[in-house]
Structures are given as C-alpha cells and as structure tokens.
Amino acid sequence: MRVLAGAAFLSALCLTMGAHGYEVRKGGVAVQDPWTNATLRLAAGNAVYLTVRNTGAAPLKLTGASSPKGSATLHESIAGADGVVRMMRLLSLEIAPGETAAFKPEGMHIMLTGLAAGLRENETVPLTLTFENADAVTVEVMVESTRATKARNRPNP
C-alpha cells in the first residue's frame, strides 16, 4: 500500500514539474528542451526545435540565433493552398509576458545551415538566442535520432 501511495506521489510531482526536463533561464527568458534530429542530408541543414517562455513583465522580442556550427535563422513552415509546405523566414517573434512560443516540427523552427559536418545522435550543439530587449541565452541542443519526433527527457544543466 505504501509503495502505491509513493508511486502516486511521484507521478503527481512529475506532472506538476511539467513535461520538460532541460531548461535554461536568464532574466525573463526560459528556454526548454532544445533538440534537432541527426543530419540526413548535409546540404539541407537541420531544424532546431525548442520552447521559449517569457517569464518577465514586458513583451519579449526574439530577433535571431547563432551557432558556431553554422548559420542559424528563424523560420516557419506554412502549407500553401496547393498543399506544398514552404519555409518562410521570420525576422523576429514577439512573445507576450507569461506566453510561450513553441518551435516544433511542421511549425516554427530554427534552421542550421552551412554545417561543415553532419550532426550525430547524442552530441550537443551550442545555440545562442538573441533578443531585442533581453540578454542572449545560450543552450545546448541535443541531437536526437533521425526518426525522433520530440526531445528526450534530460536533466537541467
């Protein structure tokens, strides 16, 4: 009986902690679970996914990203009337106080291009997010398998 009660408590605790595991906070910015798939075609680059939360009191404006591995630009995938999905570059993204911007497959993402070498599963890639009205935030992007559809659960740095 105690084992069941303990398991129920731990399950409830995990739910209250949220679904993410890795998080970097700086000022009014929280970046959660940055990940990308292992590189399939070097010329195509890699899409990076993550969540940015505005934990501050003022609007947050994401203006770009950078990485020593290659060029990093903000994009959004949009399906046209013809059913073809196209990438459109985003120059910036405003996140209201208390709101979250989710960069996920088939939506907003950060493209890493100009890679000198492919990204391999289980390595990490540094990525710095830049903001107009907040300090830059650097995270370690986890490289998942080529078939992954979400980040694995990993501890905070």
Structural domain includes residue 36: yes
Structural domain includes residue 9: no
Structural domain includes residue 63: yes
Domain of residue 34 covers 21-144
Structural domain includes residue 10: no
Give tens-digit pLDDT for 96-120. Answer: 999 999 999 989 999 999 999 999 9
Question: For 74-80, which contacts have Cβ atoms below 8 Å and span 24 or more sequence positions?
Answer: 74/108, 74/110, 75/47, 75/108, 75/109, 75/110, 75/111, 76/107, 76/108, 76/109, 77/106, 77/107, 77/108, 77/109
Give tens-digit pLDDT for 26-67. Answer: 999 999 999 999 998 888 899 999 999 999 999 999 999 999
Q: What is the pTM of this model?
A: 0.83
Structural domain includes residue 12: no
Number of domains composing the chain: 1
Helices (H), the chain: 2-17
Amino acid 90 reads L
CATH number at residue 119: 2.60.40.1890
Structural domain includes residue 13: no
Structural domain includes residue 101: yes
Structural domain includes residue 45: yes
The answer to whether residues 21 and 8 touch, using CB atoms and an 8 Å cutoff, is no
C-alpha 145/C-alpha 4 separation (Å) is: 35
